[in-house]
Amino acid sequence: MTSSFSADTTAESTVIDGVHYHQFDIVIVGAGGAGMRAAIEAGPGAKTAVISKLYPTRSHTGAAQGGMAAALANVEEDSWEWHTFDTIKGGDYLVDQDAAEILAKEAIDAVIDLENMGLPFNRTPEGKIDQRRFGGHTRDHGKSPVRRACYAADRTGHMILQTLFQNCVRLGINFFNEYYALDLIMTEVDGVKKPSGVVAYELATGDIHVFQAKAIIFATGGFGKIYKTTSNAHTLTGDGVGIIWRKGLPLEDMEFFQFHPTGLAGLGILLTEGARGEGAILRNASGERFMERYAPTIKDLAPRDIVARCMVQEVAEGRGAGPHKDYVYLDCTHLGAEVLETKLPDITEFARTYLGVDPVVEPVPVMPTAHYAMGGIPTNVRAEVLSDNDTVVPGLYAAGECACVSVHGSNRLGTNSLLDINVFGKRAGNNAVEYVQNVDFTPLPENPAAFVQELVENARNSNGTERLSTIRKELQEHMDRNAQVFRTDESLAEVTETIHNLRDRYRNIAVQDKGRRFNTDLLEAIELGFLLDLAEVVVYSARNRKESRGGHMRDDFPKRDDENYMKHTMAYLTGDPLSSDAADHITLDWKPVTITRYQPMERKY
């Protein structure tokens, strides 16, 4: 069903041979934080549509808890230069420093923009936006923790999502909700390939829709469902990243995946880093505050990659808690009921509901959970998608977790994701408006929906013997076992073989539901194809990087190797993705890291 909130309700379409055709200046794929922030900039200056596989307020931005970084200096002295340094150091120096400077400088206006839109931030007694500590954020270039995270209890992402959606409604943005984008149409004009439209499947009817556009912005989020233990929702299957990959455009730094330290043990449900920002402590089975040994300066507020590795190491060395000694504790008991119920109400309730543990009186079992993709669709600082190291694809943009600008390098600092979607979502929207004012529509090819029609019908008519849920479960379990916090060439080779076997079995799947309306079985079959594609790129890129850096920890190459690997991985699809060997269809190259002010040095916390 089409949901249009424009004042004149103009979301006209033409139906030709059963396919619905729409025309907009700008089409945004994804209605999370980045997509709606782009829409707020694009809507007033161009006819804009947002396509979303979910109702916008169900997008995964709403699951973000702890805060959004900005050097407002409302509570303590702070500066955007310190924020820039922390972002670069936290990313283990694989961050493009021009992008980090933009992120930190524009963070202040990004927060004020949200405040002016109506976001209800927590306040200091003086009425200013309150700020709290978060992992890796420091003053004076690493001397001590600083209060930089602006927050709304532990529901910051939820508040951002609601605020952005309300403002999109106010601006009359056209939303197409529960439409699954499945293809990007690229048309060659004067020897240059440009996007001319997006093809989407309407969940409610099973109809195919073609959205012709002058500019297209991808804001489709991450792909954490390649893992079993993950904070990501069931819908985060990497569709946007997978579409870009299948069009022959590169993906950048896919080996770097973040494992958030504090997921509920055995479940992966996230407990915000804001708990440690408020003073919560990680303890092993004996009650020791073990992070004092690993990061004596900022302890539990070290960057996420460091904390996650330390937790796994504690368990591996026999200091884990519980019947199987397979987790550690997050101790919030000293914070008191008032802090937990007012500043951290959601995570308090999560622990009670899912583990039967009350954080007010007992520590909470936690272990790392797959959380965030640092890699994705390569862009420049204007959010323009790149077809190689520096060539722009005219009219194609990406922002948020699906994009790699690269502002997070090999490890994202907490609170920089909500910042990223606002800073670069805004830039994508503004730059798309500027672009469409000077170009005409690129003609669509003949029968632009043919690929998606064939994809959908092949899935609908599949009558094999393999169950989707079985293949997905095996993929996720093997990724958890072999490509999680610690990796080796042996473990990566094992999961590579598994993925190739699962690909063969994927050809023999069975879709039980043959209907057209609300056929989620069919769509899960297509989503599984994207998961297999992206898991393979993650693992193939990881085997090629023979060092440890940020979220990529190789037990067989435990040191960072700046001489050989201070560069971004660029992966290209160059053959048949169904071939049995990844080397037959994936080609890897390198891209230099942009260094402006801070030379790589050892990370000490």
Query: What is the CATH code of the structural domain delimited by 449-592?
Result: 1.20.58.100
Q: Is residue 63 part of an annotated ligand binding site?
A: yes
Are 154 and 345 a contacting pair, CB within 8 Å?
A: yes
CATH 1.20.58.100 maps onto the chain at: 449-592
- d(Cα 136, Cα 158) in Å, to the nearest integer? 23
Active-site option among 132, 139, 283, 304: 304
Query: What is the CATH code of the structural domain delimited by 261-368?
Result: 3.90.700.10
Counting as low any pLDDT under 70, the low residues of the chain are 1-11, 578-580
- d(Cα 70, Cα 156) in Å, to the nearest integer? 14
Find the distance separating the first CA and the last CA of the chain, reported in whole Å.
52
- d(Cα 91, Cα 422) in Å, to the nearest integer? 19
DSSP 354: I
Q: What are phi and psi of 203, to 5 degrees?
A: -60, -40
Per residue in 457-504, pLDDT tens?
Answer: 999 999 999 999 999 999 999 999 999 999 999 999 999 999 999 999
Q: Is residue 62 part of an annotated ligand binding site?
A: yes
- d(Cα 321, Cα 259) in Å, to the nearest integer? 20
Are 319 and 290 a contacting pair, CB within 8 Å?
A: yes
CATH 3.50.50.60 maps onto the chain at: 20-63+158-257+372-397+412-437
3 state SS of 369: strand
Burial of 67 (0-12, 13-18, 19+ CB in 10 A): buried
Q: Is residue 67 part of an annotated ligand binding site?
A: yes
Is 304 noted as a catalytic residue in this protein? yes
CATH 3.90.700.10 maps onto the chain at: 261-368
What's residue 5's pLDDT? 38
What's residue 2's pLDDT? 39
- d(Cα 383, Cα 306) in Å, to the nearest integer? 29
CATH architecture of 20-63+158-257+372-397+412-437: 3-Layer(bba) Sandwich (3.50)
Taking all residues of the chain, what is their mean pLDDT, rounded to a whole number?
A: 95
Q: Is residue 127 part of an annotated ligand binding site?
A: no
Q: Is residue 320 part of an annotated ligand binding site?
A: no
Q: 391 Cβ partners below 8 Å, 6+ apart?
A: none
Q: Is residue 334 part of an annotated ligand binding site?
A: no
- Bridge partner residues of 386 (DSSP): 392
| Conformational region of residue 497, where left means phi above 0, alpha means psi within -120 to 50, and beta covers everything else | alpha
Q: Is residue 64 part of an annotated ligand binding site?
A: yes
Q: Is residue 52 part of an annotated ligand binding site?
A: yes
- d(Cα 516, Cα 204) in Å, to the nearest integer? 8
Measured CA distances, 37 to 29, 61, 80, 105, 364 (Å): 12, 12, 22, 18, 35
Q: Is residue 53 part of an annotated ligand binding site?
A: yes
Q: Is residue 60 part of an annotated ligand binding site?
A: yes
